Amino acid sequence: MGERIGKSGDGGIDGIINEDALGLDAVYIQAKRYAPDSKVGRPALQAFVGSLTGEGANKGVFVTTSDFSRDARDYLQKVQHRIVLINGDRLARLMIAHEVGVRARKTYVLRSVDEDYFTEF
Q: For residue 22, what pLDDT is reported?
A: 81
Q: Does 56 score more than 80 pLDDT?
A: yes
Q: Specify the pLDDT at position 4.
A: 61
Look up the CATH number of domain 2-119.
3.40.1350.10
CB atoms within 10 A of CB 95: 12
Q: Is the pTM of this model over 0.95?
A: no
Yes or no: say if 5 and 13 are a contact pair by the CB < 8 Å rule: yes
At 21, is the pLDDT very low, low, confident or very high (cuts 50, 70, 90)? confident
Q: Report residue 42 CA to chain centroid gap.
A: 17
Nearest CA among 26, 76, 22, 17 for reference residue 46? 76
Per-residue pLDDT, averaged over 18-41, amounts to 91
Grade residue 118 by pLDDT with cuts at 50, 70 and 90: confident
**Quick check: 76 pLDDT over 90?**
yes
